[in-house]
Amino acid sequence: MTSKKDLDIEFKTAVDLVNDHTDPFPADFLLRLYAYYKKATSNYDRPSSRKPIINAFKANALFQIKNISREQAKVEYINLVNTYFLYRK
């Protein structure tokens, strides 16, 4: 079992990996990252894209994970990032 501190470190590492990546990510991947990140950080601000359709997709992504915990959102974010970078090569 990973400690909360270890989970936070792994989560920050995954976030940094995404932020440092310069190639575009697939849209579906970005939506899942967005939802898990928002849940993991307890950021419940409304989506703020200038395009209503993007806000709708973001809201839907958040809705789909509404029943998971912050810790589970961090785990899912980390797994998503690790899998992406493992298989993209």
pLDDT in tens, 66-82: 999 999 999 999 999 99
Residue 40 covered by a domain: yes
CB-facing half-sphere around the CA of 80: CA atoms within 13 A = 21
Tell me the one-letter amino acid at 43: N
Residue 23 covered by a domain: no
- Which pLDDT value is given to residue 2? 72
Residue 55 covered by a domain: yes
Say which residue the tokens 């579906």 belong to. 28
Task: Give tens-digit pLDDT for 35-70.
Answer: 999 999 998 787 888 888 988 999 999 999 999 999
pTM exceeds 0.75: yes
Task: Give tens-digit pLDDT for 5-34.
Answer: 999 999 999 999 999 999 999 999 999 999
Residue 54's domain is classified under what CATH number? Answer: 1.20.80.10
| Residue 34 domain boundaries | 4-18+28-87
Cβ proximity of 69 and 77 under 8 Å: no
Please tell me the total count of domains within the chain.
1
